[in-house]
């Protein structure tokens, strides 16, 4: 049976994990600095009560942190939903290659902490994503007779917050997505048993800003699904317990780019690239969809069988 895990701050700088049942958290009796250590006492989503306190406390009384500890590798997929690909101005006839990039582990934040707009950032965007936790080392190519889902320990909500006015002009994604606080995770890590891992293919994703739905989709619409993505990654680099894969965001983000026009302009050698990007930023500033001080972001991922909880955080001043 899927088990909800939370990580909370017992006192300043001291964190613990607990499993949650009916709104009550039962803390782990052992201390672990990192998530990979904690994973050693849970096997395929099964909780052994001897490792946890029999006395619980209300989850809503805890200072919830990210269930994923840092440092870890944060591997992300880009343009992994057709509607998102379309709204970013990419030709639908273009190659459907699996885009992989990373975020800095220092970007990890709680699902509830206020997100401060960095100095100099004016186009702050949201991206709800299903996150997958790696539970076993992947150090070699995954062969066809191995199920890549066996390497996934659990799932969680992720938000790939992005500074579009940094990301787009720099023509690389790492910098504009790696500011501190730009990766709210949780509140729960939901550990899955072997027979439950197929459930990740039919989850609802929903994100609201100030109560208005901006993103609403299903993981069934991914262009590059987790099995294929993990096989592809295994051909290139290693993954370790505690590393995470963010599987891309559906349509509905703040950034909108007209088909062809923008990307065609910057592909022409005789065009002043700096001017094109400056025009892009000024045009995007006319949109009222970008996040601003005081906005409330809520995100949830769920189905009839799984509930990953709900993120809720406020955008604070620069």
Q: What is the pLDDT of residues 248-263, one digit of tens each?
A: 999 999 999 876 555 5
Domain count, the chain: 2
pLDDT at 144: 87
pTM of the model: 0.95
Query: What is the strand order of the sheet 115-116 is part of?
Result: 115-116, 307-316, 296-302, 204-209, 212-218
Are 228 and 175 found together in one domain?
Answer: yes
Q: Where a domain ends, among 42, 64, 86? A: 64
Radius of gyration of the chain (CA): 20
Question: How many Å apart are CA 105 and CA 82, to the nearest integer?
Answer: 27
Q: Is 296 helix (H, G, I), strand (E, B) or coil?
A: strand
Q: Is the peptide bond before 71 cis (omega within 30 degrees of 0)?
A: yes
Q: Work out the pLDDT band at 265, boundaries 50, 70, 90.
A: low
Are 160 and 19 found together in one domain?
Answer: no
Are 262 and 294 found together in one domain?
Answer: yes
Angle at 219 between CA 216 and CA 225, to 5 degrees: 145
Are 22 and 90 found together in one domain?
Answer: no
What average pLDDT does range 24-52 have in this prediction? 92
Q: Where a domain ends, among 40, 64, 88? A: 64
Residue pointed to by tokens 């992005």? 162
| Residue range(s) defining the domain that contains residue 264 | 70-316
Are 83 and 117 found together in one domain?
Answer: yes
Q: What is the DSSP letter of 283?
A: H
Burial class (CB in 10 A: 0-12, 13-18, 19+), 269: exposed
Are 304 and 286 found together in one domain?
Answer: yes
Are 34 and 94 found together in one domain?
Answer: no
Q: Which residues pair with 298 in a beta bridge?
A: 208, 312
């Amino acid at each position: 049976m899927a088990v909800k895990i939370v990580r909370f701050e017992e006192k300043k700088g001291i964190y613990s994990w607990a499993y949650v049942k009916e709104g009550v958290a039962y803390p782990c009796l052992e201390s672990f600095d990192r998530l990979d250590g904690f994973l050693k006492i849970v096997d395929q989503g099964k909780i052994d009560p001897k490792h946890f306190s029999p006395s619980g406390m209300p989850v809503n009384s805890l200072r919830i942190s990210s269930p994923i500890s840092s440092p870890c590798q944060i591997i992300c997929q880009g343009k992994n939903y057709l509607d998102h690909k379309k709204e970013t101005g990419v030709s639908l006839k273009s190659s459907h290659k699996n885009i992989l990039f990373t975020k800095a582990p220092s970007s990890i934040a709680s699902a509830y902490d206020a997100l401060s707009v960095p100095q100099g950032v004016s186009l702050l965007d949201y991206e709800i994503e299903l996150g997958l936790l790696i539970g076993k080392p992947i150090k070699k190519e995954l062969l066809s007779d191995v199920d890549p889902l066996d390497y996934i320990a659990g799932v969680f909500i992720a938000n790939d917050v992005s500074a579009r006015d940094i990301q787009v002009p720099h023509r690389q994604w790492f910098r504009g997505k790696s500011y501190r606080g730009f990766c709210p995770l949780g509140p729960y890590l939901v550990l899955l048993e072997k027979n439950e891992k197929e459930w990740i293919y039919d989850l609802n994703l929903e994100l609201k800003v100030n109560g208005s739905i901006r993103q609403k989709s299903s993981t069934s619409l991914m262009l590059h699904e987790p099995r294929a993505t993990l096989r592809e990654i295994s051909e290139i680099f290693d993954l370790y317990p505690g590393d995470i894969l963010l599987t891309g965001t559906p349509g509905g983000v703040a950034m909108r780019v007209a088909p062809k026009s923008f990307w065609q302009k910057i592909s022409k050698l005789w065009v002043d690239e700096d001017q094109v990007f400056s025009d892009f930023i000024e045009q995007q500033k006319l949109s009222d969809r970008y996040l601003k001080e005081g906005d409330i972001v809520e995100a949830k991922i769920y189905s009839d069988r799984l509930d990953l909880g709900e993120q809720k955080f406020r955008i604070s001043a620069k």
